[in-house]
Structures are given as C-alpha cells and as structure tokens.
Amino acid sequence: MTEETYDYDVRCRTCRTIFKVQLFDSHDKNLFVAAKKDWYCEKCKKAYFSKQTEELTKAHKEIGLPELTGTRKMISWGVKVRGELINKVKYLQQSLSFINDEEKELSEKAFERFFKEWQEQTVAKWWVDNRKMNVRDISIRIKEITENLKKN
Ligand SMILES: [Zn+2]
C-alpha cells in the first residue's frame, strides 16, 4: 500500500474548494466517508470559529461578561467553555426551590456574587482550565457564598 491510498479528495461545504484529507479505514469506507461527511477547508473552519467566537462574546457581553484575552485559539475555546458553564448555572438556578422569600432573596444575592467572580475572569485560559466545572461544583460555591452572606 502506498501513502496515496489514504488521500481522498473532498469538497468544502462552504466554499466548494476541493482539498485532500487522509482517511485510514478500508478504501470502501473511506470513499463513503469522503462523500458523505460535511467537510470544511481550513480557511472556512477558521472563519466559522471566529464567527462563533464573535457571536458568543457578544452574547456574553450582553449579560455583563467581559471580552477574554489570550491567543486566538484560547479565546475561541474559552468563550465556548464559558457558554457551557453559563448554561450550567442557569440549570442550577432553575432547579432550586425555596421555603420562603427570604431564602429566595439570599439565593439571588449569592448568584449575583458568584456572577461577579466570573466577571473578573478575563483570561481565556482560566475558563479553559475550568472546563470540567460541573453543576455540583457551582452549587458548592453558591452554598459557600450563601453561608458568607448569612454571617454578614
Ligand atoms: Zn472552504
């Protein structure tokens, strides 16, 4: 088998440019994948990511979160992680129930403080490093903040 066996011509879905990809399954399967999969050339992939990053950044700005700093790649990744984490916070907030108004107010304050902590995180890498943060982690931090609020 020569190396060329693995090279397949595919067409970018966006700009219709034909480019080569390497596929390593059986020839029949490779042909199928080359024809059926949605392929995007490097240029369009980059454009897609910057557009996605731009849109997420804009949406985050609207809810008060700052633009991220770092390399292009880190910003693009960080902003995506931040979007996912925001959804986890929303999910948590919606799943809570309270026994009285006082408790509800306290919780709202805790979420506000929590959000403020996030507003201070402007380095994209911080978000990437925290990409594994789950609803439970967020819930624990909210509880800590709530306890502190109770003391004051
Ligand atoms: Zn393209």
pLDDT digits (tens, 9 = 90+) for 9-41: 999 999 999 999 999 999 999 999 999 999 999
**For the purposes of burial, counting CB atoms within 10 Å of the CB of 146, is it exposed (0-12), middle (13-18) or buried (19 or more)?**
middle
Strand runs labelled E in 2-151 = 7-11, 18-22
On whether both 60 and 19 belong to a single domain, the answer is: no
For helices 135-151 and 72-95, angle between their N-to-C axes, nearest 10 degrees: 70
On whether both 69 and 27 belong to a single domain, the answer is: no
pLDDT in tens, 41-76: 999 999 998 999 999 999 999 999 999 999 999 999
Separation of 18 CA from ligand 1 center, angstroms? Answer: 8
Q: Is residue 59 part of a domain?
A: yes
| 3-class DSSP state of 97 | coil
Which residue range(s) make up the domain with 70? 53-151
On whether both 24 and 65 belong to a single domain, the answer is: no
Q: What mean pLDDT comes out for the span 111-132? A: 97
Q: Is residue 93 part of a domain?
A: yes
On whether both 15 and 74 belong to a single domain, the answer is: no
On whether both 13 and 81 belong to a single domain, the answer is: no
Separation of 25 CA from ligand 1 center, angstroms? Answer: 24
Structure tokens at 34: 């080359």
On whether both 66 and 101 belong to a single domain, the answer is: yes
pTM of the model: 0.77
Q: Is residue 42 part of a domain?
A: no
Half-sphere CA count of 127, side-chain side, radius 13 A:
27
Separation of 42 CA from ligand 1 center, angstroms? Answer: 7
Q: Is residue 145 part of a domain?
A: yes
Structural domain count of the chain: 2
Separation of 122 CA from ligand 1 center, angstroms? Answer: 32
